[in-house]
Amino acid sequence: MRRDLQHASLAQELNKDPRARVVAAHGRHDLVLMPNGQLLNCVTRGRKGGIACGDFVNATQTGDASGVIDSIAKRSTEFMRSDGLRTKVLAANIDQVWGVVAGTPPFSDELVSRAAIEAERQSLPVTLILNKADLKGPTDIARQRLAPFAKLGYRIEEVSLKTEPERAKERLLPMLADRTTLLFGESGMGKSSLLNLLVPNANARTRDISLALNSGRHTTTDARLYNLTDQAGVMIDTPGFQEFGLNHLSAGQIERAFAEMKPFLGQCRFYNCTHLVEPGCAIREAVTKGEISAARYQLFCDLTRQSMRSAHLP
Ligand SMILES: Nc1nc2c(ncn2[C@@H]2O[C@H](COP(=O)(O)OP(=O)(O)OP(=O)(O)O)[C@@H](O)[C@H]2O)c(=O)[nH]1
Ligand SMILES: [Mg+2]
Ligand SMILES: [Zn+2]
């Protein structure tokens, strides 16, 4: 069978969604997976940029492997990060967020918190995959460090992608069915191991994508969409970031994203309390009593101050 036809039948079988979808967005060129399984290198009619990985689009084929994006469907969700004045939609139309963490190298609480806050902003469920469970000591410590996240309602799944890949696959795959899952993780946690397990030809597909876009540029800095190999469902891989700015969040959004603060909201002396310095603040009292973690409160303060600074920018 010709390879493109093979792709087509695979896509039809796995991709029940008949809409064309952006696999990789590069500004000037975007790679679109057509309902027939073909990948087209597309330009956008009119509006430049503003297209994100995961966008559903209407596209018209104009050549062998090229096309034009005519319109973009309204997004159900947008997963964003913003550093300084730059805000970027990493991925669109996602249903849940997965973070890969490990005991070694130790994961960053703050990065996990930040990505989870962006998920909370849109009420997206968060699952943390604690990988490298075969390394007992570091995993014990990581488990303790994850306890506050478990308490916040995030699902934690322990796996060893290296020593028990099939077991991990059996457990994780059903959680990905018929959904679009955004994957994040710091370098060394096992994100590639997970992706390669769930999308066995992910590496080859990444090469295809780079070739189709005819660019060595941006290869590691952009999000990539993959259809799962064994069932319907989509995984969007994001680059391993070291920073995750949240300047786009308003003070209210930040407050709501900290689930542990909820019981205390409305109990401060001042109705417009920022929970940073005011006397009679119920949140600060809860921190003092250990009912809210000091590290999480510190992050809350950092985000709130950053948000206030951004709000004052011209
Ligand atoms: N012990 C152990 N090592 C693992 C496991 N999973 C992955 N590793 C190792 O951890 C290292 C990082 O794994 P990757 O899958 O490349 O991690 P990544 O998150 O993609 O990292 P970058 O590509 O560098 O961002 C590799 O040396 C893997 O072999 C595991 O379950 N147990
Ligand atoms: Mg990797
Ligand atoms: Zn307060």
Same domain? For 100 and 123 the reply is yes
CA 63 to centroid of ligand 1, rounded, Å: 40
Does residue 220 have its Cβ closer than 6 Å to ligand 1? no
Same domain? For 41 and 94 the reply is no
Does residue 168 have its Cβ closer than 6 Å to ligand 1? no
Domain containing residue 256: 251-311
Same domain? For 214 and 84 the reply is yes
- Residue 229's pLDDT is 84
Residue 116 in any domain: the answer is: yes
Q: pLDDT tens digits for 73-112?
A: 999 999 999 887 788 899 999 999 999 999 999 999 999 9
- Among 193, 196, 221, name the best residue to mutate to test ligand 1's pocket (greatest count of ligand atoms within 8 A of Cβ): 193
Residue 208 in any domain: the answer is: yes
Residue 152 in any domain: the answer is: yes
CA 257 to centroid of ligand 3, rounded, Å: 15
- Residue 12's pLDDT is 46
Same domain? For 53 and 144 the reply is no
Same domain? For 100 and 228 the reply is yes
CA 176 to centroid of ligand 1, rounded, Å: 21
Q: Domain containing 268 — which CATH number?
A: 1.10.40.50
Same domain? For 161 and 273 the reply is no
Same domain? For 67 and 82 the reply is no
Residue 279 CB neighbour total at 10 angstroms: 9
Residue 184 in any domain: the answer is: yes
Tally of CA atoms within 13 A in the half-sphere of 134 that contains its CB: 9
Q: How far apart are CA 114 and CA 262, in angstroms?
A: 18
Residue 243 in any domain: the answer is: no
Last residue of a domain, one of 237, 269, 301: 237
- Residue 214's pLDDT is 63
Same domain? For 125 and 210 the reply is yes
Q: pLDDT tens digits for 180-233?
A: 999 999 999 999 999 999 998 777 666 666 666 665 454 456 899 999 988 889
CA 294 to centroid of ligand 2, rounded, Å: 32
Last residue of a domain, one of 24, 42, 72: 72
CA 192 to centroid of ligand 2, rounded, Å: 4
* Closest ligand by atom to 297 CA: 3
Last residue of a domain, one of 72, 98, 127: 72
Does residue 131 have its Cβ closer than 6 Å to ligand 1? yes
Strands 20-25 and 30-33, sheet pairing: antiparallel
Q: How far apart are CA 221 and CA 186, in angstroms?
A: 13
- Residue 10's pLDDT is 47
User: Which residues of the chain, if any, have pLDDT below 50?
Assistant: 1-15, 216, 218-219, 314
Residue 220, classified by CB atoms within 10 Å of its CB into exposed (0-12), middle (13-18) or buried (19+), is: exposed
* Closest ligand by atom to 301 CA: 3
Does residue 101 have its Cβ closer than 6 Å to ligand 1? no
Q: How many domains does one find in the chain?
A: 3
Residue 244 in any domain: the answer is: no
- Residue 313's pLDDT is 58
Does residue 193 have its Cβ closer than 6 Å to ligand 1? yes
Q: How far apart are CA 187 and CA 242, in angstroms?
A: 8
Does residue 188 have its Cβ closer than 6 Å to ligand 1? yes
Same domain? For 118 and 209 the reply is yes
Does residue 139 have its Cβ closer than 6 Å to ligand 1? no
Q: Domain containing 207 — which CATH number?
A: 3.40.50.300
Same domain? For 133 and 193 the reply is yes
Same domain? For 188 and 215 the reply is yes
Atom of ligand 1 nearest to the CA of 133: 31
Same domain? For 92 and 167 the reply is yes
Average pLDDT over the chain reads 88
- Residue 27's pLDDT is 76
3-class secondary structure per residue, 269-314: CCCCCCCCCCCCCHHHHHHHCCCCCHHHHHHHHHHHHHHHHHHCCC
DSSP state string for 17-50:
--SEEEEEE-SS-EEEE-TTS-EEEEEESSS-S-
Does residue 187 have its Cβ closer than 6 Å to ligand 1? yes
DSSP state string for the chain:
--HHHHHHHHHHHH----SEEEEEE-SS-EEEE-TTS-EEEEEESSS-S---TT-EEEEEE-SSSEEEEEEEPPPS-EEEEEETTEEEEEEES--EEEEEEETTTTPPHHHHHHHHHHHHHTT--EEEEEE-TTSHHHHHHHHHHHHHHHHTT-EEEE--TTT-HHHHHHHHHHHHTTSEEEEEE-TTSSHHHHHHHHSTTHHHHHHHHHHHTT-STTTTTS-EEEE-SSSS-EEEE----S---BTT--HHHHHHH-GGGGGGTT-SSSTT--SSS-TT-HHHHHHHTTSS-HHHHHHHHHHHHHHHHHHT--
